[in-house]
């Protein structure tokens, strides 16, 4: 038990040191501009396979075994694969990328090339709907969230990168725009801080959300104490 606790402490210390180094370096470092990709099939050919993320545990802990879950913008299916193995959910993933759906299917996920609007028009609904790190890629995010809310029976989960995270503030302080992309700069079309996101959901007539940071600067639990400054990826839950 002591070795396990020591290992967790050392791992946390390493990642916190890396976050601080990245934040300070971002004030002077030029971003790595990749080649512009044409569409999300090419985007997913550039992406490394997804792994377990802290947000998976946060969302999964609130999902009852056997529940139906829709992952919109499922990507390579890493999250639904985790939910299937840990929560025995009835999972469906949709994505606009054939390449992403191919990868998700290889993980044993029921994945389809389909838009959220198409699914809503089909009349299908789910216990839980998840928009994980996808809403920032959508120009008409208002309609996107409205469609997601319409097809959930119990809860809607949205995760997004926090533009007010302290490394982004330091870049702005040094006269540079925050860097959030993975492959190329055109990935993200919308940007929110936590207060902005909560106000935005209220403008869409969604119920008051529960909001928690899944990662960021975790030393002394700063990402939970002051999430708008020290939280990186933000998990939002709206219940019916």
Contact between 69 and 89 (Cβ < 8 Å): yes
Q: Is the pTM above the cut of 0.85?
A: yes
CA 10, CA 8: separation in Å to the nearest integer? Answer: 6
| 101 vs 88: CA distance, rounded Å | 20
- Band of residue 2 on the pLDDT scale cut at 50, 70, 90: low
pLDDT confidence of residue 235: 98
What average pLDDT score do residues 58-66 get?
97
Tell me the average pLDDT of the chain: 92
CA 64 to chain centre: 21
The pLDDT value given to residue 1: 44
* Residues sharing a CB contact under 8 Å with residue 199, sequence separation 6 or more, in sequence order: none
pLDDT level of residue 16 (50, 70, 90 thresholds): confident
Instruction: Classify burial at 124, counting beta carbons within 10 Å of its beta carbon; exposed 0-12, middle 13-18, buried 19 or more.
Output: exposed
pLDDT tens figures, 186-202: 789 999 999 999 999 99
For the chain, state the CA radius of gyration.
18
The more confident residue out of 14 and 35 is 14
Residue 123: the pLDDT is: 97
Q: What is the pLDDT of residue 61?
A: 97
Place of tokens 């990186």: 232
Q: Is the pLDDT of residue 100 over 60?
A: yes
Whether residue 136 has pLDDT greater than 70: yes
| CA 94-236-153 angle, 5° bins | 55
2-239: CATH topology is: Rossmann fold (3.40.50)
Domain boundaries, the chain: 2-239
């Amino acid at each position: 038990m002591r070795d396990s606790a020591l290992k967790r402490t050392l791992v946390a210390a390493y990642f916190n040191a890396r976050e601080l180094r990245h934040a300070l370096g971002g004030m002077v470092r030029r971003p790595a501009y990749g080649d512009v990709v044409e569409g999300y099939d090419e985007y997913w050919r550039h992406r490394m396979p997804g792994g377990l993320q802290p947000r998976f545990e946060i969302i999964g802990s609130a999902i009852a075994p056997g529940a139906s879950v829709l992952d919109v913008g499922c990507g390579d299916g890493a999250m639904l694969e985790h939910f299937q193995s840990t929560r025995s959910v009835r999972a469906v993933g949709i994505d606009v990328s054939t390449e992403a759906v191919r990868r998700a299917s290889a993980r044993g996920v029921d994945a389809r090339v389909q838009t959220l609007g198409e699914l809503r028009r089909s009349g299908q609904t789910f216990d839980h709907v998840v928009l994980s790190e996808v809403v920032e890629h959508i120009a008409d995010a208002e309609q996107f969230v409205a469609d997601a809310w319409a097809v959930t029976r119990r809860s809607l989960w949205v995760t997004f990168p926090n533009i007010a995270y302290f490394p982004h503030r330091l870049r702005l302080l040094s006269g540079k725009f925050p860097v959030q992309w993975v492959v190329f700069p055109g990935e993200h079309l919308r940007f929110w801080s936590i207060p902005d996101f909560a106000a935005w959901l209220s403008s869409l007539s969604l119920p008051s959300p529960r909001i928690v940071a899944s990662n960021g600067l975790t030393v002394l639990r700063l990402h939970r104490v002051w999430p708008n400054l020290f939280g990186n990826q933000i998990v939002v839950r709206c219940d019916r």
